[in-house]
Structures are given as C-alpha cells and as structure tokens.
Amino acid sequence: MNKLDAALVASALQKSGFILTEHAREADVVLINTCSVRQHAEDRVLSHLGHLKHMKENRPELVVAVMGCMAQRLGTNLLSHEAVDIVAGPAQLPEIPRLIEQVLTQGTKTLAVTDKIRTITNPEQSEALDTFEYAYDSDVNHIPGQAFVRAMRGCNQFCSYCVVPYVRGPEVSRPPHAIIEQIKKLADQGVRQVTLLGQTINSYSYRDGDRQYGLANLLEMTSRIEGVEWIRFITSHPGHFDDAILHAMADLEKVCPYLHIPAQSGSDRILKAMNRGYTARQYLDLLIRARQIVPEIAIAGDFIVGFPGETEADFEATVYLVREARYKNCFVFKYSPRPGTRADSKLADTVQETVKKERNLRLLDVQNEINEIDNQQFVGQVIKVLVEGLSKKPHLNQANEGGMPQLIGRTATDFIVVFNGPESLAGQFANIHIEKAGALTLFGMLVE
C-alpha cells in the first residue's frame, strides 16, 4: 500500500515537471512516506527529519513533506518540527503537488489531514482519489511489467494492536468498473501482473443496484482483461473468509495460487486479546480447505511475538501452528505498542525485549527448517517466473556468468528465483530450470 502511494505521488510530480534525484542533497523537495504500524518505522522518520533539519540550516528554501499514516496520526505535532513544511494524510495524496507548489511560492507551512478519520469518506474525496490513481498508476515507479491497484481503502477489523483503522479510516471498496478501467489502461501500457490491494482484501464488497460484488467477482472480471497474465491479491484476513475466493483461484488460470493470510498467533488466548475473531483451529481448518480446493497453493503468514501477556506456552502454541501450516514463508514481528490502540491503553507491555527477540529468532528458525525441506521439491523442475530485474545481492558464485548478470524473478506462488540472463528480460516471463534450493531462494538456469 505504501509503495503504491509513493509511486502515485512520484508519478504526479514527474508529470508536473519535477525530476527524481538519487540523493536528498540534490533535491528542491524531499518527501517522506510514512508508516505507523511499528514504532521503529516512526523512529526512522524522526531520524531522517533530524538530518533534513541540518540540511535546511544551509538551504532554508528546501521543502520537506511528510505523507502517509504517521502524518495522519501526528498532524500538527509533526508540522511543528523545524524541518517539516507539509503534512499530508493518505486521503490527501491528490493534493500534494498543489501543496508543494504553494510552499515553494508562498513559503507557508501546510497541514492536510482528515479531521474525523473514522467518518466514511465523502463522495468528492473518493472520486478525487480514484481520478488520481487512474491518472498516475503505472509500472514506471514499480517493478517492470507489474502494478499495484487499490481495490479498497481503510479497515474495519480493529485488531487491538493495530493503528491502521485510526490512520486510514473505515473500509471503502472502490467501484469495480473504476478498478477494471484502471487495469485495462495498465495492460495497454504493458503491465502483465496486477496485484489488487486492500488492508483486508477479502472484505471487498460493492453494491451496484441489485448486483453485489465480492473479491471473487473482481478476480473473474480482471481475468477477462487481455494482456494481464497474472493476478495477485493482498492481504487477506482469516475471519469470515469466503471460499468463493479459493474457487476463483482454482478456476481462473490467471489468478496466482498464492495466499497471504496472517495468523498473528497460535494461542487462542492471545488471539482473543488481539481481537482477531477466530481460533487457531479455525485458522488451520481454513488452510486445509485452501489446499483441498487449490492443491498447488502457497501460503504465507504473519506473526506477532511478545504480545502483552504472552507466556512460553502461548508461544509454543504459535510454534505448533507454524509447523502445522507449513508456510511458504512467514513474517515475524516483535510486538510494538501503538498509541491510540486498545492494546496500548488496556494491556501492559509485559514481555521483556530480550524475550521478544529470542522468540522472534526461534520462530524464524522453525520456518527456515520447514523451507529447507519443502523447497527441495522444486529441484529439477522447470518453473515459469516473471523477471523483476537485476539481483541486488548476487547469490551465485558467478554473478556475471557468460557475460550475463544475475537476475531475480518470482514464480506464480511467489517464490524468489535467481538466475543469470540478459537484463532485457525485466518485465517478461522466463522459464528457469531449478538446480538448487535454499530456505529463502531458488537458484536456476535460464531455459532458452
């Protein structure tokens, strides 16, 4: 979601005459796109602002804008920072080019956030956001041949630890025709993979007269668009998951058999305290149904360790769930109290930081053990990948084999594959013979 927001604003600014620079010291305007999910993310923003404050002492004309969730959460408090000229929330993205021009010409600080964030977005604001996304979405600021398309905004889940409902507002599903028109435009521009985005994408729901659209309908409509070859969607919530989505995945060739569906904990006691709305057994039963309906499906999960009150027994229940789920991969985070959430106001952060770190590493070790075993199934297979471009960290012994650099691609099931090939393959599909498999990466050779 943040990558899409940043790319939209960058594209809008480029089309209004700005040029992207590699370093802040070369810029007339610096924008920081922010996240509030963890304290560490906000701390990094404050660190950046500290550096920019020193830059502005020598270059007072430098314009600094802070956008996104942290901007919405802190508002005027953030605007009072000596380095900051503009504070704009996620709903105010379309206004950013105008706000920058205003500061450049008038030199006045500007605040643009939503006053009552849990109020349903007014039709004018929704239309402005839709127009902005249609006009500026492309693969220019993404991976070649790929694009994100927002299917919905906001969240209504109110997990006790999560700040998202308070910074991105209530769930609002975009009209399906607006989404489809945007994807058609992207396909005409050469985009081959589309990822539908939503904080809880499986909650997508839009009524048009007597017709009710859900995510399964949206997947079917997208699959009819010529030029689009792969369709993904993230992120799903396990509560009230509609099996029609899985049947769409099984029936529609273009829908990638990949499901990112966070569990967060394997302890029913902790899940209840998190306000997740399901038990560990219900979650595992959903994974069983997913694999029955889509046998080739790859599943990824998220976990929070060290949630208030988490005991060693609670953590072991999470370890058990990970072993049962046998994820393709999972993301593990240490609990971080977020101001304004129920967990922060009602639950003491009782788990020591050393224990959080230790549990984080232990859970990752369990997942790595699973990957080391399960990924061996790919050795000897020829797998289709969508090539992303040059590998940032060459993994093979020869990063420039036969005059060709090392590239990175992903399978339909989201496995990372590295191989040597011409850089011109970026944005295209390629067949790779897998020769070796690690816990996180598959290694192969290009099949001519």
With a cut of 50, say whether residue 379 has pLDDT above it: yes
- Range 2-112 has CATH code 3.30.200: no
Name the CATH topology of 379-446.
OB fold (Dihydrolipoamide Acetyltransferase, E2P) (2.40.50)
Cα(221)–Cα(209) distance, integer angstroms? 18
The closest of 206, 201, 198, 335 to 265, measured between CA atoms, is 335
Which pLDDT belongs to residue 329?
A: 97
Q: What is the pLDDT of residues 102-156, one digit of tens each?
A: 999 999 999 999 998 888 777 888 899 999 999 999 877 778 999 999 999 999 9
Q: How confident is the model at residue 382 (pLDDT cuts 50, 70, 90)?
A: very high
Whether residue 96 has pLDDT greater than 60: yes
User: Domain 123-376 carries which CATH code?
Assistant: 3.80.30.20
The chain-wide mean pLDDT, for the chain, equals 95
3-state secondary structure 329-374: EEEEEECCCCCCCHHHHHCCCCCCHHHHHHHHHHHHHHHHHHHHHH
pLDDT for residue 397: 45
Q: Measure the CA angle with vertex 285, ends 198 and 163; round to 5°.
A: 35
> 264's torsion region: left (phi>0), alpha (psi -120 to 50) or beta?
left
- pLDDT beyond 70 at 396: no
Instruction: Give the range among 80-89, 120-129, 233-242, 268-277 with minimum mean pLDDT.
Output: 120-129
**% of the chain with per-residue pLDDT over 90:** 92
Q: Does the pLDDT at position 218 exceed 50?
A: yes
pLDDT at 120: 74
At residue 363, does pLDDT exceed 50? yes
Q: Is the pLDDT of residue 419 over 80?
A: yes
Element (H, E) at 406: strand 404-411
Q: How high is the pLDDT of residue 401? A: 57
pTM score of the predicted model: 0.94
182 burial (CB, 10 Å; 0-12 / 13-18 / 19+) is buried
Q: Report the C-alpha gap between 237 and 198 in whole angstroms.
A: 10
Between 117 and 299, name the one with better pLDDT. 299
pLDDT at 395: 56
Comma-separated ranges of CATH 3.80.30.20 domains in the chain: 123-376
CATH 3.40.50 domain span(s) along the chain: 2-112
